[in-house]
Amino acid sequence: MHISEGFLSPQALAAGWTITAAGVAWGLKKMDQEKIVRVAMASSVFFLASLVNIRVGPSSAHLALIGPIGLILGWTAFPAILTALLLQAVLFQFGGILVLGANTTVMAAPAVLVYLVFGQAVRGAGKKNAKIAGAAAFLAGSLAVMASAGIAGMFLFLSDREMALTAKTILAVHLPLSIIEGAAALFMTIFLKRTFPDILSGVERS
């Protein structure tokens, strides 16, 4: 869901940077320094998962694992995703520097949203309630993708009303991808709860 340079208005760019700055500041404040390696690992997973892009007008479609990353990182998804996007912009020219704030908002805000909505259901469900955790993880993965597509479309539409069709296309393209992301989140959650449940306890200070 990288938005390319040159398509967003100054107001949209400013809004993206404002939201990202606030999210990164809060994420860094909430980060448990003893678990910073987990943040780095999640950032690396996001970096690798989102390298394969399919161009959709001024944006793109790709796997991102936003849901699982949000469930694991919470608010620290903002600095983790910002770091990965910055490296992608510098190394591979994905997105760009000016739109880095908007692109971070597009992907980090939904990650935090699913953490707030579904995080407790995933973390609190024990082995007897694995179905609850799995269902919550699937919804988190699926809805995070659609939320990201929606935010990207909103940025484009608010920058140029003639991009309404492009915004709708982005949503349509991401609908099947949301099912894949939901399934990935489900299987990742089940695997982690069985093998490394501590990682789902989060990386934020209690």
User: Can you state the percent helix, strand and coil of the chain, rounding each to 5?
Assistant: 80, 5, 15
Sequence-ordered alpha helix ranges (H) in 74-99:
77-92
**Closest to 27 (Cα-Cα) out of 204, 148, 147, 206:** 204
**Closest to 158 (Cα-Cα) out of 108, 114, 105, 116:** 105
CA separation for the pair 67, 12 (Å, rounded):
24
CA separation for the pair 30, 52 (Å, rounded):
31
pLDDT in tens, 137-163: 999 999 999 999 999 999 999 999 888
pLDDT at 1: 73
pLDDT at 192: 86
Terminus-to-terminus CA distance in the chain, angstroms? 32
6 exposure class (CB count in 10 Å sphere: 0-12, 13-18, 19+): exposed
pLDDT at 145: 94
Q: Strands (DSSP E) along the chain, which ranges? A: 54-56, 59-61
Question: Can you list the residues of the chain whose pLDDT is less than 70?
Answer: 57, 60, 125-129, 205-206
pLDDT at 198: 80
Q: What residue spans define the domains of the chain? A: 10-201
pLDDT at 112: 96
**Closest to 46 (Cα-Cα) out of 188, 174, 196, 201:** 188
DSSP codes joined into one string, 153-179? HHHHHHH-GGGHHHHHHHHHHHHHHHH
pLDDT at 128: 55
Say what the pTM is: 0.91
pLDDT at 78: 97
- Which CATH code, of 1.10.1760.20, 3.40.50.1370, 3.40.50.720, 1.10.10.200, is assigned to 10-201? 1.10.1760.20
pLDDT at 90: 93
**Closest to 121 (Cα-Cα) out of 110, 103, 106, 135:** 135
CA separation for the pair 168, 181 (Å, rounded):
20
